[in-house]
Amino acid sequence: ATVYRMLKVLEQHGYVSKSPATKHYRLGATVLRLARTREITTPVSDTLQGIVDDLTEKVGETSHASLIAGHQIATVAACQGQRSNRVHVEYGGRIELHATATGLACLAYADESLLDRALAAPMAQFTQTTAASRNALSQLVSETRSRGYSIADRSFDADVVGIGAPFFDAGAKAMGAIAVATPANRMDAQNTLRTARLVMAAALEATRGLGGEPPADFLQCRSRLTDQTNPI
């Protein structure tokens, strides 16, 4: 009864609408107005879209950017790869925290409550390499923090490798992440380092564009990676 009363109030104000045929509720037109208002006042999606477009131009693979919203992460910008064999990423898609490059990058640098929730939640085993236990996920998050970027090696899709890096708010906490998703047969060791360098550079560009501040250890990781990949 309480949920029904809440739905009726939301319906009155246009936040949800009810299908006459199925009686099911769906998002209403007011949500679109709120989304447009937010993007006008804080143009996050447009900023990130330009960055992922440029990243795909450099790496030739699918790039995408996602934002943390509460205890979930949603994709707000994406650019599909330039080759016929490419990874497809959908706008608004739900990100699996424990099994994706985006999720691992956010867990390593976001508020600790996000990591605590991920460690306590059930972890679906998508592939043989999915981190599906607290210890396995904690180790991946620690490795991500130590190098500044995440690697999801066929952990969500058996044919896909993802590399991600966080972008930060004014408090030097991750507000989201940028990632590249590549067919596994094209991601060798050299390409991993090159892609990671470009992803970290894109994440720093997003941080600056959104008025954020990267933490010192992230900048140190990026500096080490840049020195390591200069000869490439």
Q: Is the pTM of this model over 0.85?
A: no
pLDDT in tens, 193-222: 999 999 999 999 999 999 999 999 999 999
pLDDT in tens, 34-77: 666 665 556 688 899 999 999 999 999 999 999 998 888 989 99
Nearest by Cα to 213 from 222, 203, 221: 203
Share of the chain above pLDDT 70, in %: 93
CA distances, 189 to each of 3, 60, 137, 141, 192 (Å): 52, 17, 22, 20, 5
pLDDT in tens, 76-112: 999 999 998 999 888 777 789 999 999 999 999 999 9
- pLDDT at 232 exceeding the cut of 60: no
Q: 227: burial class by Cβ within 10 Å (0-12, 13-18, 19+)?
A: exposed
Please state, rounded to an integer, the average pLDDT across all residues of the chain: 90
CA distance linking residue 193 with residue 224, whole number of Å: 11
Q: What is the dihedral of CA 139, 145, 146, 149, to 10 degrees?
A: 110
- CB distance 162 to 102 below 8 Å: yes
Query: Other CB atoms closer than 10 Å to residue 145's CB: what's the count?
Result: 20
- DSSP collapsed to 3 states, 161-197: EEEEEEEECCCCCEEEEEEEEEEHHHCCHHHHHHHHH
